[in-house]
Amino acid sequence: MLKKVLENIKSISNQNIKIVAVSKYVGADKVAILAAHGQSDFGENRVQDLALKKEALSDLNLNWHFIGRLQSNKINQLISLRPIMWQSCESVQKALAVDSRLNYELPTLLQINSANEDSKQGFSPESATEAWHEIKEKCKFIKPVGVMSIGAHSDDLRDIITSFEATRQLFESLKSATVCSMGMSSDYEIAIKCGSNMLRLGSILFK
């Protein structure tokens, strides 16, 4: 399935688009299979699951992204796992809490709640710019490198496009941002057309 998705992505865009394989639905055995096909970056939304899989696959040298809600009592464990990227920083307060315990640089994405949905965490597009600068100023180890967003939860294509466009515009306005992480299994093609350069794909790769 990875091969098909890669071909499809190429047919939509000639940009360099990174795939993070979201392995939250599967065990380490399935991760190993995808890794054998050349996939290097994986994402988990629970710290315990990241710990288990990273440990089980420690000899493979994979890059692990944390993409879920980070509970305060899991901060130390996440830090000890040395993720390659924290994609789901949802508040300045959380960034400061993580930063105060870090002793290495952690590339971080601000999660953007671009459709202003109550069910989702993240910064509103309006508040994100100020937060970006505040985090850059106040944090020693947290390195904001871009934005992450989950597309609008809607059957209307226009809502999804609007939400991705809002994230993309914010991304472009942040001068030092290099990562625009948006697009999941059901909407990754739209996300690419809206300027994403990092997809987080779960079910389409593992089912």
Ligand X SMILES: *Cc1c(COP(=O)(O)O)cnc(C)c1O
Q: Which residues bind ligand X (CB under 6 A)?
A: 22, 24, 45, 67, 150, 184-186, 200-204
Report in angstroms the alpha-carbon separations of 109 from 5, 97, 104, 106, 122. 24, 15, 16, 10, 11
The residue among 50 and 201 lying less far from ligand X, judged by its C-beta, is 201
The residue among 134 and 195 lying less far from ligand X, judged by its C-beta, is 195
The residue among 150 and 152 lying less far from ligand X, judged by its C-beta, is 150
The residue among 57 and 70 lying less far from ligand X, judged by its C-beta, is 70
Q: Shortest gap between Cβ of 104 and ligand X (angstroms)?
A: 23
Give the nearest residue (CB) to ligand X. 202
Q: Which amino acid is at 109?
A: L
Q: Shortest gap between Cβ of 54 and ligand X (angstroms)?
A: 17
Q: Shortest gap between Cβ of 123 and ligand X (angstroms)?
A: 15
89 with 99: CB under 8 angstroms?
no
The rounded distance, in Å, linking the Cα atoms of 109 and 133 is: 13
Q: Shortest gap between Cβ of 147 and ligand X (angstroms)?
A: 13
Q: Is the dihedral of CA 123, 125, 130, 136 positive or negative?
A: positive
